[in-house]
Amino acid sequence: MSVVRSSPPPCSSAVLCNVECEPSASQAAENLRFSKLCGISAARLHGSRKRLVLCDGRARWNSLKPIKAKDDDDAGSDYSRKCSVMSNENVKQIKEMEDSDSLWNENRASFSGKNPCQVSNVGNSTNILWHDCPIQKRDRQQLLQQRGCVVWLTGLSGSGKSTLACALSRSLHARGKLTYILDGDNVRHGLNRDLSFRAEDRSENIRRIGTLYIINSQTSYDLTSGEVAKLFADAGLICITSLISPYQKDRDACRALVPEGDFIEVFIDVPLHVCEARDPKGLYKLARAGKIKGFTGIDDPYEPPSSCEIVLQQQQGNGFKSPCEMAEIVISYLEEKGYLRA
Ligand SMILES: Nc1ncnc2c1ncn2[C@@H]1O[C@H](COP(=O)(O)OS(=O)(=O)O)[C@@H](OP(=O)(O)O)[C@H]1O
Ligand SMILES: Nc1ncnc2c1ncn2[C@@H]1O[C@H](COP(=O)(O)OP(=O)(O)O)[C@@H](O)[C@H]1O
């Protein structure tokens, strides 16, 4: 049996990968010894090449980085070259390490998700524990073969945010990319049903959707605001938000809390008279008649982005690009910036 080792995961557990069992005279003894070491069935090892994590004295089939099944003849591949072959002596060393109290405790903390040093009080919650998991954003991104980000669509009611969000999601889905849409209308049916369209409630709407916990250091962290889009981006998804988000300061606050570059603000620059002429829900008509108060663009302000990643405008010939054409512009940007690969 040959065992190769890769770089350690965040929990510092020993990682064994591409465990390979060859039918040889020494195999039974090797399998027995290895399976005893790892606490797993020798039968599971036979003839398989898998990736193992040694943790808490047990072996875990590791999902940190999915490894495609490899043929024997690609032993000289990049991946194999990066791994160094472990001798029996190395296996013995791992066993010794594994037996030591410190590694045991470290691994136990990592895999239970609990770090005993991080009990804190946050807001009204006392004595709470920050849970870390060794599966991190980069592992999820590797799995999904994409980079998590927030595509923030902003524009007047009727400018085409929801339509573009759907077109984008469809196109990306067809390319095998995982997206999730957070649409203002939809989120206000549930999570944000308690919010109105007063300025402070609009801000709260954006705050809940757009931002997140900021971890200041290993031991202290602030609950700065809500977190939905960031959670999705952290999950490795391309999160598309579709909200009027009329105030610059609220959009800036969301941008500031997302890792540099991961907030892609897209302004759908459709003039008020066009949106009003479209008026698919009849809301502009009601607002003009004074039956809806504080309607964006009528008697409530919309502050266009002062600088943003993408502006989708009316074309010179007066027409607008189709939703699919607009989606392609956004997708080209994502492609160019590397969000469509891990
Ligand atoms: N007063 C007022 N102003 C603006 N919009 C209003 C208002 N009342 C209801 N609606 C409907 O709510 C949708 C906008 O919700 P959002 O969550 O995107 O708004 S905001 O970002 O909090 O400003 C918006 O949907 P979209 O047309 O999809 O933008 C409207 O249909
Ligand atoms: N690129 C476009 N060109 C022409 N009409 C569009 C375009 N995108 C959306 N529309 C139309 O505009 C209206 C409002 O679109 P919608 O996506 O609901 O906007 P929002 O979500 O910003 O309120 C709909 O009737 C839709 O069919």
Only one residue has tokens 């009990």, namely 119
For atom 9 of ligand 2, the residue with the nearest CA is 160
The confidence score (pLDDT) of residue 71 equals 33
The confidence score (pLDDT) of residue 43 equals 34
Choose among 334, 183, 179, 329: nearest CA to 269. 329
Q: Rounded to the nearest whole angstrom, what is the distance from the C-alpha of residue 269 to the centroid of ligand 2?
A: 12
Choose among 98, 101, 81: nearest CA to 17. 81
The confidence score (pLDDT) of residue 124 equals 82
For atom 22 of ligand 1, the residue with the nearest CA is 202
The confidence score (pLDDT) of residue 117 equals 61
The confidence score (pLDDT) of residue 282 equals 98
* Beta strand segments in the chain, E: 2-5, 14-20, 50-55, 58-61, 84-86, 114-122, 125-131, 149-154, 179-183, 214-215, 221-222, 238-242, 263-269, 310-313
Domains and CATH numbers, the chain: 138-337 (3.40.50.300)
Q: Rounded to the nearest whole angstrom, what is the distance from the C-alpha of residue 324 to the centroid of ligand 1?
A: 23
147 lines ligand 1 (CB under 6 A): no
Closest listed ligand to the CA of 204: 1
Q: Rounded to the nearest whole angstrom, what is the distance from the C-alpha of residue 179 to the centroid of ligand 2?
A: 20
Q: Any residues with Cβ below 6 Å from ligand 2, and which? A: 155, 157-163, 242, 278, 280, 320-323, 326
DSSP letter (8 states) at residue 87: P
Rounded-to-integer distance, Cα 65 and Cα 96, Å: 26
Determine the residue of 154, 163, 242 to mutate for testing ligand 2's pocket, defined as the one with the most ligand atoms within 8 A of the Cβ atom: 163
The residue from 13, 157, 169, 245 that is catalytic is: 245
Q: Report ipTM for this prediction.
A: 0.99
Rounded-to-integer distance, Cα 210 and Cα 247, Å: 13
The strand pairing partners of 131, in sequence order, are 114
Only one residue has tokens 């007047």, namely 156
The confidence score (pLDDT) of residue 92 equals 59
Main-chain phi, psi angles of 60, to 5 degrees: -125, 135
DSSP letter (8 states) at residue 262: -
Q: Rounded to the nearest whole angstrom, what is the distance from the C-alpha of residue 311 to the centroid of ligand 2?
A: 16
> Block means of pLDDT (10 residues each) for the chain, length 342 residues?
36 36 44 42 36 40 34 36 45 54 50 61 85 92 97 97 98 98 93 95 88 32 51 94 95 87 97 97 98 98 97 81 96 98 95
Choose among 143, 142, 151: nearest CA to 172. 151
Q: Rounded to the nearest whole angstrom, what is the distance from the C-alpha of residue 217 to the centroid of ligand 1?
A: 37
Q: Is-catalytic flag, 245?
A: yes
205 lines ligand 1 (CB under 6 A): yes
In angstroms, the Cα distances linking 131 to 8, 116, 117, 169, 228 are 20, 10, 11, 31, 18
Assess contact for 296 and 276: CB atoms under 8 A.
no
The confidence score (pLDDT) of residue 172 equals 98
For atom 16 of ligand 1, the residue with the nearest CA is 184
Q: Centre a 10 Å sphere on the Cβ of residue 87 and count the other Cβ atoms it contains.
A: 11
For atom 6 of ligand 2, the residue with the nearest CA is 160
Assess contact for 303 and 248: CB atoms under 8 A.
yes
Indicate the pTM of the whole model. Answer: 0.70
